[in-house]
Structure 1
Amino acid sequence: MTTELRVLQPSEWNQWFSSLELAFGGSQEPAEQREQYRSVTEYERSIGIWDGDDVVATTGAFTFRLAVPGGALVPAAGVTMVSVASTHRRRGLLTSMMRRQLDDVRALGEPIAVLTASEPEIYGRFGYGAATRQMSLAIDTDRVRLSVPEGTDEVRLRYARKDEAVDACESVYARLVPGRPGTPAHGPGWERKSLIDPESSRAGGSALQCLLAERDGELVGYTNYHIKPDWDNAGPKGRIVVSDLAALDPAAYAALWRFLFAIDLTSTIEARNRPTDDAVLHLVSDVRRCDIRQRDSLHLRLVDVGAALEARTYRGPLDLVFEVEDAFCPWNAGRWRLTADAKGGASCKRTEDAADLALSVRELGTAYLGGESLGSLALAGRVRELRAGAVAEASSAFVSDVAPWLPRGF
């Protein structure tokens, strides 16, 4: 087999993307969705492998800034469009693309790379760890009641057209980015992605409905949702499917949920991607009737251990030496001294001092955003304590005040 790995050219995009679609089952993306992907493709960061005239593997990256604990927005490669043709599996093509991609990310000076995995077990061998989780809810609104905070009645709600909602939703999203680790700050072209609504993707539901929340004429939140009508012999039992909901304060947040609870002819609210510490869990009368489930979401890799650990803040003073294993990116391997002051400022430098903890870069990526505990990883045998008390110190310092979350895919 003779294959060629090269950077994608604009004239090759249709063939490249069609190869990706085939690898994911052969169904074509709706035209609107396909055009959105084309518009945000960064050709210089997109790679294909050709076997003769055929594209047999793909990957790419988007240029993001990712919120980390402390609120900094850190340059990050948003890895995407990863596929290998079924005819070319087990031949090292994925490894060669990951090698090229991470070398390029390092050359660009991006300390971290992130992705969402169709099959999570694939990416651990390349140093990615599952750093955020997402929660899904199916709330039985016939039996669950909502308790809202003071000020909820002061929030005005109104429907908005999609063209009006684009900028409104993006303005709220942008203000919330620094406060939630794992949230990407997007560049131009991404603002419309969450409002793309092809009829073929509605599964029998309504067109996307957009609702804005305002107080004293100022925008304070929004939600976007579909309604799926349904009936049985007892009457209506429609479902509300929430695609996005965000607000700048508790009263606005509660007002949006209260609206959804009160929509006529429905009995269930489905929300498939919420943070694991979502405040709605404290507003409902019976959390057991919310059918809560969790799964992995954003996978993260430290491309530059020192720069990545210096970019975030920590919960208190810290002085630890990590022995890091990283066979795929050997420039990260070795001992690193991480120090942080009482205000969370950090330094992470090479050292020859004795290590306090030993772990792979995958575990460091899992814990980086503060949602997964180094202590839990140690109990699983994934982190080794070399100095008594080091695991507890590290776990306490790394934890985030809010659960990290990826609110929108890429």
Structure 2
Amino acid sequence: MTADAAAPDARELPAPIVRALAPQEWEAWYRGLEVAFGGQEEEPQERELWRGLTELDRSLSAWDGPAQVGGAGAFSFRLAVPGGAVLPAAGVTMVGVLPTHRRRGLLTALMRRQLDDIRARGEALAVLTASESAIYGRFGYGLGTWRLSLTVPRAKVRLRSPGDASVRLRLADPAESSPACERLYASRVALRPGMLERRPDWERLPLLDAPGSRGGYSPLQCVLAEDRGTGQLLGYARYAVDVAWTAADVPAGTVRVRDIEAQSPQVYAALWSFLLDLDLTDTVTVRSRPVDDPLLHLVSDPRRLDARISDSMFVRLVDVGAALRGRGYAAPVEVVLDVTDEFCPWNTGRWKLHSGGPGKGAVCEPTTERADLALAVRELGSAYLGGTNLTALAAAGLVTELRDGALAEASRAFASDVAPWLPHGF
């Protein structure tokens, strides 16, 4: 008997059982996730953070007999959408399948159970970041936000914005200044689609600074921008420094910016001026900023920024009607969308969307009227936060215009004045 004949077809093997995670199973569940992502163990500080943030009632485990072979989780987020509303959204996370159990439909089973649970909770949206960007489209997730990374040679650029004498900068302990920084962050959330409200304990994530994960960089540092007269916090930046030297003993350190928030253009410029003027460094890097970040226009020579764009957050409309009613629209729109959703068939059908424009609210209900645009729920997710233009999707053959003028009308309405952006991973 050949080896091929002896091995059963994966389709004939018993299907693993997917069920809710029990509290005592967390360690094995999380270790399975680490194995699924290559096997390297996280630092204890990181592991402790994610254990504390895990919502056990939203965590699924997959079992093959006595062995735990996969899992998926979700966080209960609130997500900023165009128009300034902040809506409940499931933050899909910790999805992994052991190498021995791939290609057996286990991921599909986890996604099926999870989306059914999300719908039962009344959440109209699900979002995720993907380790491999090709995976989740078949489950209806569309790429909704992009991120910009920059590498700035500080000696070759200058800032065009003048300084503000009313702004005072001072160094502060990251943990001690965290409450004030979190209040400032919270005031910014509704201003940009894609940003997440931070629930209790999530303020710990920006402060995560496990020594074994620093990669040669300093402990986390924080600079505050305050009003010189009142002491009011106007902005902050968190960063770390890797001091290095060339063979000729010339300083060649790197500043790695973790996050930066400011209430005005002047304060934003003041913080960047500080970061670009740190002694013993010649490069400043930042991994994730909005694609319309003001620094692109603040510097004297944008070509020097080595700007790179990559995918960030994927968006899934779990309830098309509720999701489209929940966001605002940049222009009046009345359009019938013929939506296809193979994985969540309750969304499939024609939906009539009507809005009077900014501040006017929206109505979106099932209809039997003739369709104006045809698209899959994946493309609707891509366009939902305003970062991907429906016209661009149509140019790729992913949206079909069925009524002349409907595409331009919908594209204008779905647009956002600012690019959507996810401020941190999950």
TM-score range, shorter chain: over 0.9
Work out the CA distance in 2 between the residues paired with 1:185 and 1:163: 19
Residue 125 of structure 1 is matched in structure 2 by 138
Work out the CA distance in 2 between the residues paired with 1:315 and 1:161: 41
Helix, strand or coil: the match of 1:354? coil
Work out the CA distance in 2 between the residues paired with 1:104 and 1:68: 22
Q: Is the 8 A contact 2:19 2:62 kept in 1?
A: yes
Work out the CA distance in 2 between the residues paired with 1:35 and 1:301: 29
Offset, 1:53: 2.5
Find the partner of 1:346 among 346, 362, 365.
Answer: 362
Offset, 1:149: 4.2
Find the partner of 2:160 among 147, 162, 177.
Answer: 147
More displaced stretch, 9-18 vs 153-162: 153-162
Residue 239 of structure 1 is matched in structure 2 by 254
Correspondence list, 1:7-406, <5 A: 7-149=20-162, 152-215=164-227, 216-234=230-248, 235-343=250-358, 344-406=360-422
Q: Deviations over 1:168-211 (max 9, x none)?
A: 22111111000010011121110011111011111111111111
Give the fraction of aligned pairs with identical amino acids, expressed as a percent: 56
More displaced stretch, 126-135 vs 210-219: 210-219
Offset, 1:233: 3.2
Helix, strand or coil: the match of 2:135? helix
Q: Which runs of 5+ in 1 are unaligned?
A: none
Q: Is the 8 A contact 2:174 2:238 kept in 1?
A: no
Relative to the length of structure 1, the TM-score reads 0.98
Q: Is the 8 A contact 2:328 2:357 kept in 1?
A: no
Q: Which runs of 5+ in 2 are unaligned?
A: 1-12
Work out the CA distance in 2 between the residues paired with 1:89 and 1:169: 43
Structure index of larger Rg:
2
Relative to the length of structure 2, the TM-score reads 0.95
Offset, 1:165: 2.5
Work out the CA distance in 2 between the residues paired with 1:161 and 1:269: 21
RMSD across aligned positions (CA): 1.0
Work out the CA distance in 2 between the residues paired with 1:357 and 1:270: 42
Query: Aligned AA for 1:282?
Result: H
Query: Aligned AA for 2:260?
Result: L
Helix, strand or coil: the match of 1:192? helix
Work out the CA distance in 1 between the residues paired with 2:304 and 2:244: 20
Work out the CA distance in 2 between the residues paired with 1:51 and 1:73: 39
For this pair of structures, how many residues does the alignment match? Answer: 409
Helix, strand or coil: the match of 1:186? coil
Helix, strand or coil: the match of 1:17? helix
Q: Deviations over 1:93-145 (max 9, x none)?
A: 00001000000100000000000000011000000000000000001111111
Work out the CA distance in 2 between the residues paired with 1:9 and 1:382: 42
Q: Is the 8 A contact 1:149 1:250 kept in 2?
A: no
Q: Is the 8 A contact 1:64 1:75 kept in 2?
A: yes
More displaced stretch, 294-303 vs 50-59: 50-59
Query: Aligned AA for 1:362?
Result: R
Work out the CA distance in 2 between the residues paired with 1:165 and 1:126: 41
